[in-house]
Amino acid sequence: MSGVVDETTQATLGFEMDSTVDVREVDETTWAILRELCYQGKKDRFTVPVEQKTDFASVPRVFVWFLPRYGRYTKAAILHDYLWSVEVPAGRISRVDADGLFRQAMRELGVPFLRRWIMWAAVRWGALVKSDGRRGWLKEAWRVLAVTVVALPIVAPAAVVILLTLPIFYLVEFLVWIPLEISRRVRPRGDRGAKVVNKPTLQLKL
């Protein structure tokens, strides 16, 4: 869903109707945009340029079960990455307004009410780690806290279980890796059957 008409300006809000997400993988967490992605706000128009980097929705691994990195909100996530990395440092928009556009874009894309507000609250919390992100934070603090209070009982129990499970799985994976790596190393160097055994890593972010 996109292309909501603003009755006050007659401008078509949101992403262009024929816009598509076309990307190239840069590394295991980053992609580059191959086609411009244009978004019309109530006042300004933003264009995510070709080669702009994105990691889609920046979701910690313990919450991916609840908010996948890809979804109906993908375009909004790409726009938000662009706003935070380009428009905010250039001083053309504040982080609080960038986060507001993120929530607005999700609404126009048809993301359900509670899900988009939870994602908005998450990026508002994330703004606190930025020096300029604390500017104006208290203005929206009451809404951030209200959404957080609603979301925590839903997501926290499963997140805790996943957080405990990840290191256990890593330990098991590491114990399986040890004999495989030893076997590879003791094989004669001319043995073409000795395959590289990838060492496991503990990752809390996909």
Residue 206 lies in a domain: no
pLDDT digits (tens, 9 = 90+) for 103-148: 999 999 999 999 999 999 999 999 999 988 988 899 999 999 999 9
pLDDT in tens, 179-196: 988 888 887 665 565 677
Q: Structure tokens of 48? A: 């995510």
Burial 46-76 (b: 16+ CB within 10 A, else e): bebeeebebbbbbbeebbeeebebebebbbb
Residue 160 has pLDDT above 50, yes or no: yes
Query: Residue 34, SS3?
Result: coil
Q: Does 117 reside within a domain?
A: yes
- Structural domain contains residue 176: no
> CA 124, CA 166: separation in Å to the nearest integer?
26
In a domain? residue 33:
yes
User: What per-residue confidence (pLDDT) applies to 205?
Assistant: 64
In a domain, 185, yes or no: no
Tens of pLDDT, residues 56-77:
998 888 999 999 988 999 999 9
Q: Tell me, yes or no, whether 92 lies in a domain.
A: yes
Host domain of residue 103: 4-156
Q: How many domains does the chain have?
A: 1
- Within a domain: 141: yes
Q: Report yes or no on 178 lying in a domain.
A: no
Q: List, in order, residues 6 or more apart from 36 with CB less than 8 Å away.
A: 47, 48, 49, 50
